[in-house]
């Protein structure tokens, strides 16, 4: 029978019923395959971990942040320091992970689409391989109410809210009490505790934090008093405007508003709050004897600006927006612990990695690749050295359409319809992306060749509603209505 979760309450955990049916003999050795846990934050920067701040030393902007459980997880994991997304936005990021496909191919290029019913996801393949699948927390595909390919779920619609958020529990709208990331973590912990040991499971825990609105009544009491006197350190690019913020852009201009320090404190209060949620889930895995048979992946849907280039939010193509944390903890006494890896990894790689560990069929059209060789300390000779990035303009946001290629050492950023905004950066000499080298014809030409190759590898095509000169909607659509296309 279909199970129904009890109302979430920390004081009264009620055991879950099991799904109907008996595992096929094909899965008789299922216990030999690892459980899989995927923890997904919202808007978490790559450097929003205490371990990264300590590693950066004097260069760290936020040396005061507290993430003890994530630091412990990092000490037991492989930490990927060059982890990126191919679109820095909520819904596309989730679709990228679920399908290992770029958004221009799945149709999810903004936050106003459901996950299409016809796309194949890794959860679908895990179920076919005998895994029980559970989804808890943020889904964020507009107002989508189903959670395709998941046996059990407790998830909210859209952005939900931080306190007393109604959840869809296996499709039934259910009231809750408490801070939403605590509540969904409790559901996830109960799911773990209820799983039989003769069948592996996959669990996705999606946090709302640190997505806005932050601070004040959106924070749990345990973190409200943190960081009262904390001050973020400036970086060279916190006094520089993004090239698309003014037509008369000049790299010598200052005049960017001072960072919102209380906003920074609230951001990291949310981060510290979900740090304890991660601890709750890890403790449940350990207490139930399942931690050492579980692969744990921790990452985020995109990065986030905290004043760099005069920006907040994400969407554009500077590294603060593209770069995300990635920790992968492997089970077993021989697993790598506390190591770092600087191979170029993408959110497209998560699905192939999970399916590889599960022994499940790979996604036939996956554009990422399994990280398993890297986790074993090996780097294939043909491992990527570049990737294609795309963000497509949304009417309610100021960020323009941007197409870019990032390599291990350089970046070319293009703004369709605005060739004068083209940016070229030497990331080794200029990690803050201040000195635009677009006037270096030889370097630009080399990067344009890499861009063309990566765009082809990504099977790039303009998605519906967007035109090749950055129009939104495209010129052809506007022409039909008698309006002049905006360049």
Higher pLDDT, 288 or 20: 288
Across the chain, mean pLDDT equals 89
What is the tally of helices (H) and strands (E) in the chain? 12, 16
Backbone angles phi, psi at 201, to 5 degrees: -130, 160
Domain ranges for the chain, please list them. Answer: 31-384, 388-480
Question: Rounded mean pLDDT of 5-33?
Answer: 38
Residue 383 clears pLDDT 60, i.e. is over it: yes
Q: What is the tens place of the pLDDT at every residue in 101-127?
A: 999 999 999 999 899 999 999 999 999
Higher pLDDT, 474 or 280: 280
Residue 293 clears pLDDT 80, i.e. is over it: yes
Of 151-155, 237-241, 431-435, give the lowest mean pLDDT range: 237-241
The structure's pTM equals 0.90
CA quadruple 109, 152, 84, 256: dihedral sign: positive
Question: Rounded mean pLDDT of 268-279?
Answer: 98
Name the architecture of domain 31-384: 3-Layer(aba) Sandwich (3.40)
pLDDT at position 272: 98
pLDDT at position 249: 38
Q: What is the tens place of the pLDDT at every residue in 467-484?
A: 898 887 764 444 443 343
| Number of residues written out for the chain | 487
CB atoms within 10 A of CB 288: 15
Name the architecture of domain 388-480: 2-Layer Sandwich (3.30)
Residue 237 clears pLDDT 60, i.e. is over it: yes
Q: Distance between CA atoms of 458 and 104, rounded to whole angstroms?
A: 9
Question: Rounded mean pLDDT of 344-360?
Answer: 98
pLDDT band at 14 (very low <50, low <70, confident <90, very high): very low
pLDDT at position 7: 38
Q: Name 378's Cβ contacts closer than 8 Å, sequence gap at least 6.
A: none
pLDDT at position 258: 59
pLDDT at position 259: 67
Query: Do you find a cis peptide bond into 213, omega within 30 degrees of 0?
Result: yes
Question: Rounded mean pLDDT of 426-442?
Answer: 98
Question: Rounded mean pLDDT of 216-220?
Answer: 97
pLDDT band at 334 (very low <50, low <70, confident <90, very high): confident
8 A C-beta contact, residue 152 and residue 1: no
Q: Which residues in 298-324 are b (16+ Cβ under 10 Å) and which e?
A: bbbbbbbbbbbbbbebbbbbbbbbbbb
Residue 8 clears pLDDT 80, i.e. is over it: no
Residue 243 clears pLDDT 90, i.e. is over it: yes
pLDDT at position 333: 83
Distances (CA, A) of 312 to 277, 302, 305, 466, 475: 26, 13, 5, 24, 29
pLDDT band at 448 (very low <50, low <70, confident <90, very high): very high
Which has the closest alpha carbon to 236: 429, 424, 404? 429
Percent of the chain with pLDDT strictly greater than 70:
88
- Tokens (6 digits) for 181: 């990331």
CA quadruple 45, 49, 50, 51: dihedral sign: negative
Q: Name 430's Cβ contacts closer than 8 Å, sequence gap at least 6.
A: none
8 A C-beta contact, residue 104 and residue 462: yes
């Amino acid at each position: 029978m279909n199970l129904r979760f009890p109302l979430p309450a920390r004081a009264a955990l009620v055991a879950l019923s099991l799904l109907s049916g008996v595992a096929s003999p094909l899965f008789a050795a299922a216990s030999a395959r690892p459980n899989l846990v995927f923890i997904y934050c919202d808007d978490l920067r790559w450097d929003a971990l205490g371990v990264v701040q300590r590693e950066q030393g004097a260069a760290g902007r936020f040396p005061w942040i507290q993430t003890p459980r994530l630091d412990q997880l990092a000490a037991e994991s492989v930490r990927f320091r060059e982890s990126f997304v191919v679109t820095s936005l909520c819904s596309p990021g989730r679709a990228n992970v679920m399908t290992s496909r770029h958004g221009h191919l799945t149709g999810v290029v903004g936050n106003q689409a459901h996950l299409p019913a016809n796309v194949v996801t890794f959860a679908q393949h895990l179920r076919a391989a005998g895994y029980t699948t559970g989804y808890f927390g943020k889904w964020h595909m507009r107002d989508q109410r189903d959670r395709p390919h998941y046996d059990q779920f407790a998830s909210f619609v859209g952005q939900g809210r931080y306190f007393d958020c109604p959840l869809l529990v296996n499709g039934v709208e259910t009231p809750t009490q408490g801070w939403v990331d605590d509540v969904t973590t409790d559901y996830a912990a109960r799911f773990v505790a209820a799983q039989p040991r003769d069948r592996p499971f996959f669990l996705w825990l999606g946090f709302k934090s640190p997505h806005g609105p932050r601070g004040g009544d959106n924070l749990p009491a345990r973190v409200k008093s943190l960081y009262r006197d904390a001050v973020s350190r400036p970086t060279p690019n916190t006094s520089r405007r993004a090239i698309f913020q003014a037509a008369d852009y000049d790299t010598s201009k200052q005049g960017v508003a001072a960072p919102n320090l209380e906003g920074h404190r609230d951001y990291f209060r949310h981060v510290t709050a979900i740090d304890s949620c991660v601890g709750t889930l890890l403790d449940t895995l350990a207490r139930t004897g399942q931690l050492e048979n579980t692969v744990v992946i921790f990452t985020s849907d995109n990065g986030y600006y905290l004043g760099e280039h005069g920006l907040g939010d994400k969407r554009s193509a500077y590294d603060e927006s593209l770069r995300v944390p990635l920790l992968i903890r492997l089970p077993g006494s021989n697993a790598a612990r506390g190591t770092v890896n600087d191979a170029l990894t993408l959110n497209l790689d998560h699905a192939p990695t999970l399916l590889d560990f599960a022994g499940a069929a790979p996604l036939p059209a996956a554009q990422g690749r399994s990280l398993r060789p890297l986790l074993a300390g090996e780097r294939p000779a043909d491992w990527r050295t570049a990737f294609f990035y795309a963000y497509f303009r949304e009417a309610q946001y100021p960020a323009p359409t941007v197409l870019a290629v990032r390599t291990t050492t350089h970046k070319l950023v293009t703004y369709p319809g605005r060739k004068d905004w083209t940016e070229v950066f030497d990331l080794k000499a200029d990690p803050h992306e201040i000195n635009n080298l677009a006037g270096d014809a030889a370097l630009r030409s080399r990067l344009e060749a890499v861009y063309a190759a990566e765009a082809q590898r990504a099977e790039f095509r303009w998605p519906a509603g967007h035109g090749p000169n950055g129009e939104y909607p495209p010129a052809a659509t506007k022409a039909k209505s008698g309006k002049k296309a905006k360049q």
